[in-house]
Amino acid sequence: MENDNLQINTKNSNPVFTEVSLTSTPNLLNYITFTVKDLLYWWYIQMPIYYLKKLNRFSTVISDQLSIHILIRYFFLPWKRHKAPVGYFIGITTKLIYLPIALSIYLITMGIYCASIIVWLLIPITTIFFILISLFL
């Protein structure tokens, strides 16, 4: 039984690992280089892709919980399916009041999620920046 298919981080699947050879001579510089490259690859490539895939699912769940698509699709249906003019008036008025609230909640949650992705990307840069500032002050 071959174990070639079980390896995830190989030279073919991950271009970051092409320059580091940890199997030859154990060298502290090689280990540090490998660790830094692996961390940067994980932090700036793998995790943002993961978060962006989750953004699609998060958007679908929030939209379903707020019933935005259903309310837009059936906007002109009367309230509780009463065909009287009062049913149409109450149904459309209720949807006109609820839809802006639901859309604002949806946009706020999506904005917070996207902002958290941007903050995730900026954490190492700001850390290095503040470390450098503290060294020179």
Task: Kindly report, residue by residue over 76-100, the tens digit of the pLDDT.
Answer: 888 888 888 998 999 899 999 999 9
The total domain count for the chain is 1
Rounded Cα gap, residues 109 and 65, in angstroms: 12
Rounded Cα gap, residues 105 and 99, in angstroms: 10
Q: Which residue has the higher pLDDT, 3 or 48?
A: 48
- Predicted structure pTM score: 0.71
Percent of the chain beyond pLDDT 70?
Answer: 81
**Is the pLDDT confidence value at 63 over 70?**
yes
Residue 8: give the domain boundaries: 4-136
CA-based nearest residue to 68, from 97, 103, 110, 92: 103
Q: Which two tokens stand for residue 102?
A: 């639901």
Provide the angle, in degrees to the nearest 10, between the axes of the packed helices 85-136 and 47-66: 150
